[in-house]
Amino acid sequence: MKFRAKIVDGACLNHFTRISNMIAKLAKTCTLRISPDKLNFILCDKLANGGVSMWCELEQENFFNEFQMEGVSAENNEIYLELTSENLSRALKTAQNARALKIKLTNKHFPCLTVSVELLSMSSSSRIVTHDIPIKVIPRKLWKDLQEPVVPDPDVSIYLPVLKTMKSVVEKMKNISNHLVIEANLDGELNLKIETELVCVTTHFKDLGNPPLASESTHEDRNVEHMAEVHIDIRKLLQFLAGQQVNPTKALCNIVNNKMVHFDLLHEDVSLQYFIPALS
Partner 1 sequence: MSENELDTTLNLKCKLGMKSILPIFRCLNSLERNIEKCRIFTRSDKCKVVIQFFYRHGIKRTHNICFQESQPLQVIFDKNVCTNTLMIQPRLLADAIVLFTSSQEEVTLAVTPLNFCLKSSNEESMDLSNAVYSEMFVGSDEFDFFQIGMDTEITFCFKELKGILTFSEATHAPISIYFDFPGKPLALSIDDMLVEANFILATLADEQSRASSPQSLCLSQKRKRSDLIEKKAGKNVTGQALECISRKAAPRRLYPKETLTNISALENCGSPAMKRVDGDVSEVSESSVSNTEEVPGSLCLRKFSCMFFGAVSSDQQEHFNHPFDSLARASDSEEDMNNGSFSIF
Query: Which residue ranges make up the site for partner 1 (CB under 8 A)?
Result: 84, 87, 90-91, 94, 108-110, 112, 121-134
Q: Give the burial class of 119: count Cβ atoms within 10 A of its Cβ; 0-12 exposed, 13-18 middle, 19 or more buried.
A: middle
Q: Give φ, ψ of 115 to 5 degrees.
A: -105, 120
The residue among 114 and 177 lying less far from partner 1, judged by its C-beta, is 114
The residue among 82 and 195 lying less far from partner 1, judged by its C-beta, is 82
| DSSP state, residue 60 | G
Closest listed residue to residue 40, CA positions, set 92, 78, 70, 12 = 78
Q: Shortest approach of partner 1 to residue 262 CB, angstroms?
A: 31
What are the residues whose beta carbons fall under 8 Å from the beta carbon of 222, sequence distance 6 or more? 186
Q: Shortest approach of partner 1 to residue 91 CB, angstroms?
A: 7
The residue among 53 and 87 lying less far from partner 1, judged by its C-beta, is 87
Q: Where are the beta strands (DSSP E) in 79-226?
A: 79-84, 98-108, 110-119, 127-134, 136-137, 156-159, 179-184, 190-195, 200-205
* Distance from the first to the final alpha carbon of the chain: 42
The residue among 109 and 204 lying less far from partner 1, judged by its C-beta, is 109
Q: Shortest approach of partner 1 to residue 99 CB, angstroms?
A: 13
What one-letter code names the amino acid at 108? K
The residue among 124 and 175 lying less far from partner 1, judged by its C-beta, is 124
Q: Shortest approach of partner 1 to residue 122 CB, angstroms?
A: 7
Q: Shortest approach of partner 1 to residue 130 CB, angstroms?
A: 5
The residue among 134 and 149 lying less far from partner 1, judged by its C-beta, is 134
What one-letter code names the amino acid at 278? A
Q: Shortest approach of partner 1 to residue 266 CB, angstroms?
A: 30
